[in-house]
């Protein structure tokens, strides 16, 4: 074992990535490792051309000075992408790889360039990867683990939906940002006596809508796990407005929420993991409620502001702890693992766990299907984040 690590972040950025990477780098250097930062996620390796020195900047050795101040800000100093090397569409194949024998044809429009990724890792002498991402990014970590690469994964996603862990980096800050928007929005809603619709990120899991709505005392919270009836929801929101002495009401809705008899709202082309861009269901719901109730509406799509800025104290603590634990696993030669939180304690699970299922809201335990709002049936023994 050469004691050379690579580290990367993939998928959407979240607050907490930089503290996690700082913890990994400092701990790894203390243990005598050399560590390379891989820029733009899996894209940094896919676009690494052995015949083009300009592409070598995609991977560079990290020092203490490189990470000294990165934990003071959000985002990822290594940048990110949604590249999936085992599913590269023909229209985005790097020019130097188009005629390469290292491409494996998946179908008419898709190529698998895992042999190229393995060649670059071997060329750089990287025998261990620490990967930080959601289930999409980490699914390729599983592929490399199966190919013999030593991998330790760190789960991040503002939706908190990576399977195998109670908590993912970025979730607490996204809830904090969402609550701030909802609570601040109440002043305008009350002043104008309107119905407010706040759309939050959340593709398959409604945990952000559920928790943000619960903690901000929103009147209703719509989640992807329960298809909603727009007539019923409109009646609720109008009644909530009339029952409020300040004469307004406010609801949260996940971007992946689905109206009865309709499909999820998606736009644009699929990314490398088969996802199209979500968003817009909140606007559709707002206009539908206005037509049905005659009430003026305020619609706010929180969007990327949920994942912007520096991490809150909880995300800073968890990300730093995850980073240190990941580096310790490498030092113990305990790879093929994902760091995790279970029952409030740090632990690890097989990295393949990310493919074992989908993490969604436990509807019977935490949600009132009939009234579209959080309802915790019994708090005794419930996880802190209601997951």
Q: Would you please indicate which residues are annotated as catalytic (active-site) residues?
A: 159
Kindly state the tokens that stand for 148: 């013999």
Strand partners for 102: none
Q: How far is the C-alpha of 99 from the C-alpha of 384, rounded, in Å?
A: 52
Kindly state the tokens that stand for 141: 């970590």
Strand partners for 200: 254
Tokens 């050795």 label which residue?
A: 61
Kindly state the tokens that stand for 269: 């082309």
For 96, half-sphere exposure in the C-beta direction (CA atoms, 13 angstrom radius) is: 11
For 150, half-sphere exposure in the C-beta direction (CA atoms, 13 angstrom radius) is: 20
For 298, half-sphere exposure in the C-beta direction (CA atoms, 13 angstrom radius) is: 22
Instruction: Residue count of the chain, please give it.
Output: 387
Q: How far is the C-alpha of 227 from the C-alpha of 283, rounded, in Å?
A: 17
Q: Which helix (H) or strand (E) holds 288?
A: helix 281-293
**What distance lies between CA 213 and its chain's CA centroid?**
19
DSSP 296-343: -EEEEE-GGGGG-SS--HHHHHHHHHHHHHHHHHHHTT--SEEEEEET
Tokens 């113990």 label which residue?
A: 332
């Amino acid at each position: 074992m050469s004691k050379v690590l690579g580290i990367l972040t993939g998928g959407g950025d979240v607050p907490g990535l930089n503290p996690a990477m700082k913890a990994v780098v400092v701990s790894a250097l203390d243990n005598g490792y050399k560590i390379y930062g891989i820029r733009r996620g899996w894209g940094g390796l896919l676009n690494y051309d052995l015949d083009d020195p300009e592409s070598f900047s995609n991977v560079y050795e990290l020092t203490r000075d490189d990470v000294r101040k990165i934990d003071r800000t959000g985002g990822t100093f290594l940048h990110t992408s949604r590249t999936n090397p085992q599913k590269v569409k023909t229209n985005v194949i790097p020019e130097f790889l188009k005629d390469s024998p290292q491409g494996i044809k998946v179908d008419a429009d898709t190529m698998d360039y895992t042999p190229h990724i393995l060649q670059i890792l071997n060329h750089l002498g990287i025998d261990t990867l620490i990967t930080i991402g959601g289930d999409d990014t980490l699914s390729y970590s599983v592929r490399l683990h199966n190919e013999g690469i030593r991998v330790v994964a760190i789960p991040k996603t503002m939706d908190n939906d990576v399977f195998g862990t109670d908590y993912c980096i970025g979730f607490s800050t996204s809830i904090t940002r969402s609550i701030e928007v909802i609570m601040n929005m109440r002043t305008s809603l009350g002043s104008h006596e309107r119905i407010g619709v706040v759309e939050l990120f959340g593709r398959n899991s409604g945990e952000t809508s559920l928790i943000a709505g619960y903690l901000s005392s929103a009147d209703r919270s719509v989640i992807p796990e329960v298809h909603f009836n727009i007539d019923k929801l409109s009646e609720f929101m109008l009644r909530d407005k009339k029952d409020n002495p300040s004469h307004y009401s406010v609801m949260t809705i996940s971007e992946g929420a689905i109206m009865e008899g309709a499909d999820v709202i998606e736009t644009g082309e699929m990314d490398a993991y088969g996802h199209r861009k979500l968003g817009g269901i909140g606007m559709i719901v707002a206009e539908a409620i206005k037509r049905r109730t005659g009430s003026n509406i305020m619609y706010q799509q929180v969007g990327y502001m949920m994942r912007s800025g520096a991490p809150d104290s909880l995300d800073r603590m968890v990300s730093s702890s995850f980073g240190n634990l990941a580096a310790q696993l490498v030092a113990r030669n305990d790879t093929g693992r994902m760091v995790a939180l279970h029952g409030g304690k740090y632990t690890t699970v097989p990295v393949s766990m990310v493919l074992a299922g989908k993490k969604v809201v436990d509807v019977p335990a935490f949600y009132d299907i009939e009234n579209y709002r959080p309802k915790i049936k019994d708090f005794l023994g419930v996880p802190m984040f209601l997951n």
